[in-house]
Amino acid sequence: MSFRSYFFCFVILLFGLSSCSSSSDNSVKTILDWDIAKADLDEYFDEQLASKEEKSLSVALINNGELVYTFHRGLINEATQKSASDTSRFNLGSGSRPILYFFAMTLVEDGSLDLDKPLVEYIEVPEIDLDSELKDITARSVIANKTGLSMLSSSSDVGIVNYEIEAGAESSDAEIGLNYLMEAIMEIEQVDRGQLDSIFQIRVAIPLGMRSTHFIQSSDSSVLKSDFNLEGNLLDYSNWMIGIMNGVGLSEENMNTLLDTIILEEEKDSSDLAKIAIGDYEFYTNTGLSDGTSRYFSFDRNIDWGFIVFSGEHYASELGFAAMLYLVMGSQFNLIVTLTSLLILGLGIGLVYGIYRFFKFVLN
């Protein structure tokens, strides 16, 4: 676990008390269930954006499984002068994977897909016959990012990607495994690349209220080569997170299977989901960068609380962590940090004085 995770754990455990105040239309709840005024959040995010040279910032906050706060500042497109808003669309890039793994689990839910059945049994690819290790890849190994597939080159004379495989190893390119899984789903549903989005809409987008989220269409449909990325907005991403919290579309068993399988250790890969467990809290986090837009999200199903950030290049991860600490306690955060710093300083001074007295005693 990284230093950031340990520090976040320290803050939660040190100040794990909740207030008895009630929220209103003008306030939201922090992680510890304390009230924080929306105006204070606006001021906080305005200050954060002003301190960075970023073109835009979009934020969403979920309380009790409902979207209760959004914040937008800046331009998402300087050329067209288009301002950031609830409906601004982003290429989700690797942030598509948690959603598409959920998509795959809807087929597990109705029995169309077996998590542990080799994907080669769903799709016929001539190249697979040349490499027996590909026959061991399953939907579960794709979701867990343990296919072992690695990219060698982006194309070849026959149009199929060149790759190498170390069975069971952490994949160096999770996108290849996802492509393989999506090809299997197309075979199961008997659709081509252009029709896959309609299946996604029926199974995921419509039930979860994500009607503005679609596959980014590509002219290249070569198996193990094309990218299956989604484009969506802040509201849709929030609705997906709320659906996860409320168990929409999957049984509790399959939802837990999805989350338990998809988790990667934070220091290995943060592009899918990392889990930070702190007492009764279980935060699932994700961060990444796509087309110059970075994202960060974190949510806890136990308290139905979530937080999403879209911003300029690389900034969302930095802001996401800082804002999570702020959202532990809200406006009390700065005071508590100051008091904690003074406490640490006092302990340090006491330690130095104790060492001084010890050596003075020994030397005398």
**Closest to 71 in 3D by CA, of 111, 26, 39, 34:** 39
The percent of residues above 70 in pLDDT, for the chain, comes to: 72
Q: Lowest-pLDDT range, 51-60, 195-204, 240-249, 318-327?
A: 318-327
**Closest to 228 in 3D by CA, of 174, 276, 277, 175:** 175
Q: Which amino acid is at 120?
A: V
Local confidence band at 348 (pLDDT 50, 70, 90 cut-offs): confident
User: If you count DSSP H runs as helices and E runs as strands, how many of each does the chain have, helices first?
Assistant: 11, 14
Decide if 200 contacts 232 (C-beta within 8 A). no
Residue 175 pLDDT more than 50? yes
Q: 158 CB contacts (<8 Å, ≥6 apart)?
A: none
Mind giving me the DSSP string for 310-364? Answer: EESTTHHHHHHHHHHHHHHHTTHHHHHHHHHHHHHHHHHHHHHHHHHHHHHHHH-
Class of domain 1-86+263-329: alpha beta
Local confidence band at 106 (pLDDT 50, 70, 90 cut-offs): very high
Q: Which two tokens stand for residue 317?
A: 């991860």
pLDDT on residue 267 = 43
CA–CA dist 93, 230 (Å, integer): 7
The pTM is what? 0.79
Residue 16 pLDDT more than 80? no
Q: Lowest-pLDDT range, 2-6, 89-93, 216-220, 226-230?
A: 2-6
| CATH superfamily label, 94-231 | DD-peptidase/beta-lactamase superfamily (3.40.710.10)
Q: What is the mean pLDDT of residues 315-337?
A: 70
pLDDT in tens, 22-45: 446 788 988 888 888 999 999 989
Mapped onto helix, strand or coil, the DSSP state of residue 54 is coil
Q: Which amino acid is at 158?
A: V
